[in-house]
Chains A and B, each alone.
Chain A
Amino acid sequence: MHRAPHLMSGLALATLLAARPAPAAELRDLYFGEALYHAYQGQYFEALERLDAELAQHRRLDEPQLDALHYHVGQAEFSVGDFELSYRMHHRAGRAIRAVLEGNVDEIVRNEAAFRLARIHFQKGQMDNALEALERIDGKVPDAIRDEIEFLRANVYMALGRPADAADVLKGLQGAKGLSAFAAYNLAIAELQAGRSKEALQQLDKAGQSKGADRASTAIADKSNMVLGRLMLESADFERAQRSFDHVRLEGPYSNQALLSAGWAYASARNYERALVPWNLLIQRDATDSAVQEAKLALPYAYAQLSVYGRAALLYDQALNSFGEELGKVDASIRSIREGKFLQALVREEIKQDKEWVVRLRALPDAPETYYLTTLMASHDFQTALQNYLDMEDLRKKLSTWQSSFDAFEDIISLRRANYEPLLPAIDAQFRELDSQIRLRMEQRDNLDRRLQAILTAPRPDLLATADERIAQERLRKLELALASVNGPGASELHQRLRRLKGVIGWKLYTEYPERLTQAHKHLRALNEDIAVMQARYDAFVRTRQAAMHSYAGYDLAINRLRTRVREALEQVNTLTARQGELIETVAIDELKKRGERLETYQTQARYAVADSYDRATKTQGAGGGGGR
């Protein structure tokens, strides 16, 4: 209960400086919205996969301004960098943000990009680059990050060994929303490192009195009081040291250290009786804590100083037993880690739901005593290594699933091939026949259209003759030819009749011409509608035919290439997972060994002290005839 927040407080600033997906403005692009959906749930791989694809497609467009992503493209470019940063891909994140920075963007956007780039460099420990990026910020900056920029600048100055510059910046951040506790504490440290002890102590006092509502702020206030107390202790101002330790909350992450140090403040002032109070309280707490372990030695030491040797001997004895038990736990933990139990426990699903769950691994059977590892596990290096291990494990699962999906794809493809291939030759033959007929009809229609267009400017009534009239005209023409050589009686009458009949047809054609022309255009429009239906069916057939073909043809190369890439990536992931896991185990074992060595030292000291106390108790008893308290 006393340790879990410690893990959080160590990360408090990292969280503060971490990238956050920006809230979605009125959304107009579904795929961007989908990427945000994954990012908001911490699924950065999926978010990146979608957003990368969407941005790549957007960049390929001839007219990107017509694409829905156009409305969010600036935010999307930033989000890619954010997601990459959250997915711990600093290299790519840096590239993505640098691209925004170097693009043709507004001053406000450029400044935000510079801040984000600086933040990446800071997290990678590249302080000169971080400062260079911060110095590019000029002009308007978004209100939401104004204080964060200055806070980052101060931290960069601190890391570059320029505490006086950091202090100047931090002075302007006192009371900044969400940062005040951090700024107050960091200002004190900056003053201290700049050699201005008086200002540092005043600032630590101030920071220690701040009453933040959140857990991180109260932890920082406790930390300020701890530093102030230790400084006072070092300068032998035991009373002020005591007051500072008293301000540390009894349930906070520093409470054990505060109780231990409070005891030392009294002991240093030779007030051993008062030192018993915090140390007696402390030894009741979790025996894995280093402060508790030290208190187990300090408490009998105080009794011994008070000449209560019997009690001291008893407590040294209890400490000896406790150290023995703890050493047993440390050894068992090392064994458990070597057997791979630590890594097995780390990859359990619970860790994704609850970041503090890793501290509670001890509840699992055979899992190592993780309370011995909390300081190590709170460190940035360990967290990075652990996250990388978990990410590799996640990638391994993804790649394994993908690997098995290739067989399923090939099954689908072969089933489709077996279905379509026997059908397609007959269908294609039939289609070719229909296609030639369709082309012929289309030519006829085009011809009609051309003729109708032509007679609009040069009327040709003969072209609108009906079939009967054409036949009649043809017969009249033949009769006219036959009568040409007839000169007998009645011939003139026949010629007369022939002219009259031609006249009748000609009369009809000329008088009905406007009406016939209108009709012809109506018919052409009706024909066009039929042709449109036919064309749609034709297109649908061609599409379906292509879809049938595309449903099984042309995948072999892509699948084989992907299969190879997945296999190679899986090999790499497995190698990296093993190396990363081994490293995690090594640092955990090293840490446990260190704790074990310290316990052994305590054990040796307790062993000598217990003997000495018994001797003194016996002597006191002999001298006083019943003393030894």
Chain B
Amino acid sequence: MSHAIRSFLLSILLCVCVAPVPAQDANREQMKGLDEQVQEVKSDVLSIGAELSQLEEKLLYPSNTHVAVFVALAQGETFRLDAVQVHIDGQLATHYIYSFKELEALQKGSVQRLYTGNIATGQHQIEVSLSGKLENGKDYSRTERFAFSKGVGPKLIGVTLAGPDSGKPAIDLGEWH
């Protein structure tokens, strides 16, 4: 008994750490074949998704009324963003509460599409409120209002949020094309 078990252990332990635990060859071949097919289906579905997104955008948010609000954190920001609220022309557009994963993604420098909607061409007002917590545990909340103009093309509004010690505006509005 001991010899058999020792041999078994040795064969397992001598594997380089990259070596996979062997599965049955037939199953492995089947898995490989399925993996190829899964990759093809993923490719197909991605292409359907892209086409569908275009259709959806054209149908629901045509460019002449399209408005989108994106949120980013200023570089190096460490405050904990809990929620962001956006009003457009006094109407609540969105109120978003952040999960840890989402906050982490923002802290790495990515951008979140917070809101997509429709507005008429002309002058408008946007009000952005943030609430969160600073590293010292204090609550942190700010609200800012900005005027913006909606032209014929889609309007992309980038909102950058910063903490009180960054020397940057707490809520900054940028226009993107």
Contacts and interface: CB of A to CB of B under 8 A. Distances in A.
Interface of A: 9-10, 12-14, 23-27, 30, 33-34, 36-41, 45, 48-49, 52-53, 56, 68, 87-92, 155, 158-159, 182, 185-186, 189, 192, 220, 223, 226-227, 230-231, 233-234, 257, 261, 264, 267-268, 294, 297-298, 301, 375-376, 378-382, 384-385, 388, 391-392, 395, 398-399, 402, 405, 409, 412-413, 540, 543-544, 547, 550-551, 555, 558-559, 562, 565-566, 569, 572-573, 576, 579-580, 583, 586-587, 590, 605
Contact of A402 (B52, B72, B176): B52
B60 to A, nearest CB: 8
Contacts of B176: 30, 68
Nearest to A87: B42
A89 B42 contact: yes
13 contacts: A9-B17, A24-B109, A27-B109, A37-B111, A40-B101, A53-B50, A87-B42, A158-B16, A158-B18, A264-B2, A385-B34, A391-B42, A562-B48
B92 interface: no
A93 B72 CA distance: 28
Interface in B79-132: 101-102, 104-106, 108-113, 121
Given A41-B102, A186-B16, A388-B35, A68 B177 contact: yes
A234 B23 contact: no
B43 A384 contact: no
Given A37-B111, A56-B50, A382-B23, 15 more contacts: A30-B113, A30-B156, A34-B112, A40-B101, A45-B45, A45-B49, A48-B46, A89-B39, A155-B18, A227-B13, A227-B14, A380-B21, A405-B52, A547-B64, A566-B48
Given A37-B105, A381-B23, A49 B17 contact: no
B30 interface: yes
A409 B54 CA distance: 13
Given A53-B53, A297-B1, A33 B9 contact: no
Given A26-B75, A543-B64, A562-B55, A380 B20 contact: yes
Nearest to A216: B17
A402 B101 CA distance: 26
Contact of B48 (A89, A233, A392, A569): A569
B106 A565 contact: no
Q: Lowest 3 CB-CB distances: which A-B pairs, in order?
A: A33-B111, A24-B109, A40-B105
A162 to B, nearest CB: 13
Given A381-B20, A580-B34, A90 B39 contact: yes
A587 B39 contact: no
A160 to B, nearest CB: 12
B138 interface: no
Contacts of B49: 45, 49, 398, 402
Interface of B: 1-2, 5-6, 9-10, 13-14, 16-18, 20-24, 27-28, 30-31, 34-39, 41-46, 48-56, 58-60, 62, 64-65, 70, 72, 75, 101-102, 104-106, 108-113, 121, 152, 156, 158, 176-177
Given A37-B112, A267-B2, A550-B62, A587 B38 contact: no
A587 B27 contact: yes
A573 B41 contact: yes
B17 A186 contact: yes
A402 B1 contact: no
A92 B2 contact: no
A399 B42 CA distance: 11
Contacts of B106: 37
Contacts of B42: 45, 87-89, 391, 395
Contacts of B110: 24, 27, 33-34, 36-37, 39-40
B38 A391 contact: yes
A425 to B, nearest CB: 22
Given A576-B34, A586-B27, A23 B109 contact: yes
A267 B1 CA distance: 13
Contact of B101 (A41, A264, A547, A550): A41
Contacts of B156: 30
A392 B38 contact: yes
Contact of B6 (A264, A402, A565): A264
Given A34-B113, A49-B53, A388 B21 contact: no
Contacts of B62: 547, 550-551
B34 A388 contact: yes
A76 to B, nearest CB: 13
A379 B34 contact: no
A555 B54 CA distance: 12
B34 A189 contact: no
B113 A587 contact: no
A381 B42 CA distance: 19
A572 B40 CA distance: 10
A409 B113 CA distance: 22
A279 to B, nearest CB: 12
A27 B111 contact: yes
A52 B43 CA distance: 11
B38 A576 contact: yes
B59 to A, nearest CB: 6
Given A36-B109, A264-B2, A52 B50 contact: yes
Contacts of A159: 18
B43 A233 contact: no
A233 B5 CA distance: 12
Nearest to A383: B20
Q: Which of B10, B16, B24, B50 has the most CB of A within 10 A?
A: B16
Contact of A27 (B20, B46, B48, B72): B72
Contacts of A385: 31, 34-35
Nearest to B21: A379
B101 A583 contact: no
Nearest to A17: B18
Contact of A33 (B27, B50, B56, B70): B70
B50 A409 contact: no
B70 A30 contact: yes
A220 B18 CA distance: 12
Nearest to B7: A234
B31 A381 contact: yes
A36 B20 contact: no
Given A30-B70, A49-B49, A558-B55, A220 B17 contact: yes
A522 B75 CA distance: 53
A26 B176 CA distance: 14
A274 to B, nearest CB: 16
Q: Which of B22, B55, B60 has the most CB of A within 10 A?
A: B55
Nearest to B41: A572
B6 A223 contact: no
Contacts of B22: 379
A378 B21 CA distance: 8
Contacts of B158: 30
Contacts of B41: 392, 395, 569, 572-573, 576
Nearest to B160: A27
Contacts of A384: 31, 35
A583 B34 contact: yes
A13 B46 CA distance: 29
Contacts of A551: 59, 62
B24 A587 contact: yes
